[in-house]
Chain A
C-alpha cells in the first residue's frame, strides 16, 4: 500500500505517541526523585515502569488480535504479552525478591531477559515486516537495555557501583529501565499502526458499527 503509512493522520499519531512517552518519562523522573527525597524509596519509579509495561501489554495484545486465530504470529504475540505481564508483575510487586530463591535474584532474570530480547525483536520485525522507524526504535531500545543492564548489575556479585547511595542507584536503575521500555513502546506503537494499515489493505476489517 504505497504511502499510506506516510499519511499525515498516521504521522500525527506516532508523533503524539512520542510526545506522550516523553512527557510520561519526565513526569516519572520528577515523581521518582521527589519520592526519593521524601522517603528514600523507588516505589513510584517501579510503578511507572509497571504502567509502561502494561501499555506494552495492550499493544502486543492488539497486534495479536490482527492476525488469524490459531496462527503462529498470534501465538507469538500472545507469548510476548504473557512475558510482559510477568515482567510487569515482577516490577511492581517484586515477586522474585518475595520468593527468596537464589535463581529468583533480579540480576539473573535481567540477564535471561537480555539474552532473549534480541531473538524476540528479530522475530517480531520479521513476522510483521516492520517499517524502518519501528526497527530503528527496537535497535535503539536494545542499546538502552544493555546500558540499563550494566547499571542494574552494579548492585550484584559481579561488580559494585554506588553513586550517591543504594537508594539513588535503585532510582537511576528504574529510570534507565523506563528509557528502554519507552523506546520499545514507541517501536511497538509504530508496528501496531503498520499492522492496522496492512490489515485494512488485506481486507481483514472486522464487522463493526460506529460502536463496537
Chain B
C-alpha cells in the first residue's frame, strides 16, 4: 500500500510542526530549569532543617518522595495553566474578527496542548521518581536484614570461639533464623536482577547448610563441635559480604537498575 504522503511531504510536515512548536521551546526549557532548581532548593532546605534520625528502622523511607510530589503539583499547575490560557485567549480573541480570530484561537489551542503535554511529562517523571524511591526502600529492607544476619553470625562466631571443645548446646540456641524477605527470590530477581538474586540464593543456601550442620552435630555427640560449624559460619560471612556488594548500588538513592554496577 503506497503511503498517502511521500517521504518529502512527511519531512515537510515535520518541519512545519516543528516551526509551530518552536515558540514554546524557550518556555519549556525555562520551565524545566526552574522546576529542577526548585527541587534542589527544597532538598537543600530540607537537609538543613532536618536533624539526622537518631534511630532508623526498616520502615523509614530514606529515599525522599519530594520529587514525586513536586512533579505532580507542577503537572496540576500546568493543567490549570492550560485551562486558564484557553479561557483567557479565547476571551482575547473575541476582540478580533475573521482570519485573525481563527489564527489567534488556533495558537491558543496549540499553547494549551503544549502545556498539557508538559503536565504529562512532569507527571511521568514524578511517577518514575516514586518507583526509584520504592526500589531504594526495598533494597534498604533487605540491607537491614543482611545487617541483622551479619551481627547474628558474628555473635555465633564469637560464641563458637569461646565454646570450642565444649559440648554443643541445643540447636535452637544457635540456629540462625532465615529472614522472610530473602525468600521472595522471584521478586528480587525482577527488581534487582539475576546477580543479586544469585548472591542472596547462595546466602540462603549457606544459612540452611549451617543450620543443618548444627542440627546434625547436636544429634551426634561423638562429632567435634565447632570445626565444621565454624567453616560454615565463615561461608555465611562471605556470602553476606557478597550480598552487600551486589546490593550496594541500589542503596544509593536516585539510581535505577540499569545504572547499577551489575
Q: Identify which of B76, B133, B184 contacts A2 (C-beta below 8 A).
A: B184
Smallest CB separation, A212 vs chain B (Å): 5
CB neighbours (8 Å) of B131 from chain A are 196, 199-200, 205
Smallest CB separation, B199 vs chain A (Å): 17
Q: Identify which of A55, A62, A196 contacts B76 (C-beta below 8 A).
A: A55
A82 at the interface (CB under 8 A from B): no
A211 at the interface (CB under 8 A from B): yes
Interface SS of A by simple majority = helix
CB neighbours (8 Å) of A4 from chain B are 134, 138
The CA-CA distance from A62 to B82 in the complex, in Å, is 18
Given contacts A62-B127, A65-B124, A202-B190, contact A9 B256 (CB under 8 A): no
The CA-CA distance from A54 to B87 in the complex, in Å, is 15
- Is there contact, CB below 8 Å, between B127 and A196? yes
- The residue of chain A having its C-beta at the shortest distance from the C-beta of B84 within the complex is A47
Q: Identify which of B65, B127, B135, B257 contacts A192 (C-beta below 8 A).
A: B127
Produce 1/0 per residue, B79-106, CB < 8 A to A. 1101100110000000000000000000
Smallest CB separation, A10 vs chain B (Å): 8
Given contacts A197-B134, A210-B254, contact A62 B124 (CB under 8 A): yes
The CA-CA distance from A207 to B59 in the complex, in Å, is 26
CB neighbours (8 Å) of B132 from chain A are 205, 208
Classify chain B: how many residues form its interface, as a range: 35 or more
- The residue of chain B having its C-beta at the shortest distance from the C-beta of A85 within the complex is B116
The CA-CA distance from A26 to B133 in the complex, in Å, is 32
Classify chain A: how many residues form its interface, as a range: 35 or more
A209 at the interface (CB under 8 A from B): yes
- Is there contact, CB below 8 Å, between A54 and B79? yes
CB neighbours (8 Å) of A95 from chain B are none
B120 at the interface (CB under 8 A from A): yes
Smallest CB separation, A208 vs chain B (Å): 5
- Is there contact, CB below 8 Å, between B119 and A51? no
Smallest CB separation, A39 vs chain B (Å): 16
CB neighbours (8 Å) of A62 from chain B are 120, 123-124, 127
Smallest CB separation, A204 vs chain B (Å): 9
- The residue of chain A having its C-beta at the shortest distance from the C-beta of B253 within the complex is A210
The CA-CA distance from A55 to B125 in the complex, in Å, is 15
The CA-CA distance from A138 to B129 in the complex, in Å, is 26
The CA-CA distance from A50 to B87 in the complex, in Å, is 12
CB neighbours (8 Å) of B240 from chain A are none
A157 at the interface (CB under 8 A from B): no
B220 at the interface (CB under 8 A from A): no
B258 at the interface (CB under 8 A from A): yes
- The residue of chain B having its C-beta at the shortest distance from the C-beta of A66 within the complex is B127
The CA-CA distance from A168 to B82 in the complex, in Å, is 28
Smallest CB separation, B209 vs chain A (Å): 26
CB neighbours (8 Å) of A210 from chain B are 254
- Is there contact, CB below 8 Å, between A58 and B123? yes
- Is there contact, CB below 8 Å, between B87 and A212? no
- Is there contact, CB below 8 Å, between A58 and B75? yes
Interface residues of B in 125-157 (CB under 8 A from A): 125, 127-135, 137-138
Produce 1/0 per residue, A123-135, CB < 8 A to B. 0000000000000
Smallest CB separation, A23 vs chain B (Å): 13
> Nearest 6 A-B pairs (CB), nearest first?
A54-B79, A210-B254, A203-B190, A207-B258, A9-B61, A58-B123
